[in-house]
């Protein structure tokens, strides 16, 4: 078993991030449950002990423990203490494919909810965008669900000039890349995907029902046709506790 960090090491680690202390501590305590350091049924150290170890006020510890209690990972009893109730879920079924075929496959049993749909939107030039930006795009904000849980919040921009060739039902049934990949009038010659790791802001927290500062995967996808026009931009945010990245090497 790995050596437990000292009090000074824990304090220094917490000071390296701008994320709120109680959110950092919730992640730290969650990882202790995942690793078995705090096993199911175990009584965890009291608030005063944890506050001393982490160099924070007892109120900050209580806020962190409240997050774990909301996740049904711990339960607190008056005069008895706090006990580990369950292990964190490890449903990493949301797989981020990195090959072309994988980007076109819809996830089993997933539903797509249209939160916003706006026509003739101008896309601002960003350094990371390949190809020629179209005059106008159709902008859809979509939320993806599975088994009653939202796992992806995405902004999708489709070149208005190709929208008339897309079946309206497709916007709420297929992956962003397939919206343009299936068009006979378009040949995709450049498709890119960029994955970065970040944390949830207020909008993402509310949309995906996760704490502010929780880990998320940000996935940007682009498609350029044979004449160099950028016909698709998809900017998605995945719940970090439900995603895994699959890389096809051969």
Does residue 144 have a pLDDT over 90? yes
The second-level CATH assignment, the architecture, of 94-246 is 3-Layer(aba) Sandwich (3.40)
pLDDT at 235: 93
In sequence order, the 6+-apart residues with CB closer than 8 A to the CB of 171 are 112, 114, 117, 140, 142, 179
State the CATH class of domain 7-84.
mainly alpha
pTM over 0.75: no
Dump pLDDT digits (tens) for 26-35: 888 988 988 8
Dump pLDDT digits (tens) for 109-123: 689 999 999 999 998
Q: Where are the domains of the chain?
A: 7-84, 94-246
Which ranges of the chain does DSSP label H, i.e. alpha helix? 7-15, 21-35, 47-54, 58-70, 100-103, 160-163, 176-181, 202-208
**H helix and E strand count, the chain:** 8, 11
């Amino acid at each position: 078993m790995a050596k437990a960090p000292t009090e000074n090491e824990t304090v220094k680690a917490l000071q390296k991030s701008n994320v709120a202390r109680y959110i950092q501590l919730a992640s730290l305590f969650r990882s202790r449950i995942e690793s078995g350091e705090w096993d199911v049924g175990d009584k965890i150290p009291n608030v005063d002990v944890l506050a001393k170890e982490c160099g924070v006020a007892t109120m900050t510890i209580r806020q962190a423990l409240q997050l774990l209690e909301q996740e049904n990972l711990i339960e607190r009893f008056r005069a008895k203490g706090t006990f580990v109730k369950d292990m964190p879920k490890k449903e990493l079924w949301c797989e981020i494919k990195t090959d072309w075929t994988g980007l076109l496959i819809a996830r089993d049993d997933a539903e797509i909810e249209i939160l916003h749909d706006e026509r003739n939107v101008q896309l601002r030039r960003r350094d990371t965008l390949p190809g020629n930006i179209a005059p106008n795009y159709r902008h859809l904000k979509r939320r993806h669900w599975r088994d009653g849980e939202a796992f992806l919040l995405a902004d999708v921009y489709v070149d208005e000039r190709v929208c008339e060739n897309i079946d309206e039902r497709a916007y709420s049934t297929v992956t962003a890349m397939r919206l343009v990949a299936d068009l006979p009038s378009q040949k995709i010659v450049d498709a890119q995907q960029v994955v970065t790791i970040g944390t949830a802001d207020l909008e993402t927290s509310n949309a995906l029902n996760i704490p502010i500062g929780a880990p998320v995967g940000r996935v940007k996808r682009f498609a350029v046709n044979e004449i160099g026009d950028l016909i698709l931009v998809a900017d998605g945010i995945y719940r970090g506790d439900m995603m895994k990245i699959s890389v096809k090497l051969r």
